[in-house]
Amino acid sequence: MQYRTIGQQTVSAIGLGGMPMSIEDRPDRARSVAAIHASLDAGVTLIDTADAYALGASDVGHGEALLARALRSYGGDVSEVVVATKGGHTREPDGAWTLDGRPEHLREAARASLRRLGTDAIGLYQFHRPDPDVPIEESVGALRELLDDGIIRMAGVSNFDADQIRATVEIVGDGFVSVQNEFSPRFRSSEGELELCGELGLAFLPWSPLGGISSAGELGDRHGAFAEIAADHGASPQQVCLAWMLAKGPHVLPIPGSSRPETIRASAAAAELELSDEELARLDAPTAG
């Protein structure tokens, strides 16, 4: 496993995205706990979840409670694990996803997340998605308050554009350490934000990093380069995808979602895969993704 930094904290270069363990079609708890334990065994020390990773309003916090249970039951040392969670998305009783970026909601949600996680402070707390009804300045101002109150150790944002990222730097200051945006072979429009994060010294956490590459390894014509290069390395297209992302800069830490021990082990192993400059150029080409 490679290791990189978020703020001043060293974490694994590849994290674990916990969303599949808590939303629709989620597996039973035993398999999810086994997947989390397998990630820890593989050297993963960054695990991402959210209070909205649940089936609906009555289930809010499922992902956080599940992760807390898995960490407590793990037989090894978890003191270096950074738990990243998010607030600002909400779930309706029927399961619909809604937004609430009000500062008072974020302050309350963060404290509820802290109780579910059962720690002294949340390692990384991220504003999940901008709320068009609330000025960004008000929402991220709540992150600054949570830092000052010691509820969270580091602050991040998710699904932000470049202007919103710059505004957050001005408001939150040094406590602002990361941006989590969608980025994958299928979705590359956030590459500008990825590059901006490198310039500003922020970690960039691609969510849904394997988009465009199915779990079965099936690729369309536009993704053929990932399969071809994978065959040359005796690896999977998914592993090549993660290695390609890691090569984009030392500030990039993909968080592939998983609910199976075998898939997170395979993802973690991608940190060992080195791609040549020629291979990276092929994968960067628009026709590759």
Tens digits of residue pLDDT in 160-195: 999 999 999 999 999 999 999 999 998 999 999 999
pLDDT at 289 over 70: no
User: CA-to-CA distance for 118 and 212, rounded, in angstroms?
Assistant: 36
Instruction: Quickly list DSSP for the chain.
Output: --EEEETTEEEESS-EE-GGGTSTT---HHHHHHHHHHHHHTT--EEE--TT-SSSGGGTTHHHHHHHHHHHH-SS--TTPEEEEEESEEE-TT--EEE---HHHHHHHHHHHHHHHTSSSEEEEEE-S--TTS-HHHHHHHHHHHHHTTSEEEEEEES--HHHHHHHHHHHGGGEEEEE-B-SSS--TTHHHHHHHHHHT-EE--BSTTTTS-TT----GGGHHHHHHHHHHT--HHHHHHHHHHTT-TTB----B-SSHHHHHHHHHGGG----HHHHHHHHSGGG-
Predicted pLDDT at 222: 57
Determine the pLDDT at residue 215.
Answer: 47
For residues 65 and 215, the model is more confident at: 65
- 48-97 pLDDT, tens digit each: 999 999 989 999 999 999 999 999 999 999 999 999 999 999 999 999 99
Catalytic residue among 3, 53, 74, 125: 53
pLDDT of residue 216: 47
**Residue-averaged pLDDT of the chain:** 94
In the prediction, which pLDDT does 214 show? 57
What tokens does 139 get?
A: 């929402």
Residue 50 and residue 91 in contact, taking contact as beta carbons nearer than 8 Å: no
Residue corresponding to tokens 């308050």: 145
What's the token pair of residue 242? 């993660």
Using a cut of 0.75, tell me whether the model's pTM lies above it: yes
Q: b/e string for 111-149 if b means 16 or more Cβ within 10 A?
A: eebbebbeeebbbbbbbbbbbeebebeebbbbbbebbee
What Å distances lie between residue 47 and 15, 82, 84, CA to CA?
6, 6, 6
Percent of the chain with pLDDT over 90: 90
Confidence of residue 217 (pLDDT cuts 50, 70, 90): very low
- Average pLDDT (147-158) is 98
53 is catalytic: yes
Q: What is the pLDDT of residue 219?
A: 52
Residue 58: count of CB within 10 angstroms of its CB: 9
Q: Which residue, among 48, 44, 33, has the nearest Cα to 80 in the 3D structure?
A: 44
Return the closest-CA partner of residue 63 out of 113, 104, 13: 113
- The structure tokens 């930094």 sit at 5
Backbone angles phi, psi at 95, to 5 degrees: 95, -5
| Predicted confidence (pLDDT) at residue 114 exceeds the cutoff of 90 | yes
pLDDT at 250 over 50: yes
- Which residues does 149 contact at the CB level (< 8 Å), separation at least 6? none
> Across 159-214, where does the E strand assignment appear?
176-180, 203-204
Coil, helix or strand at residue 36: helix
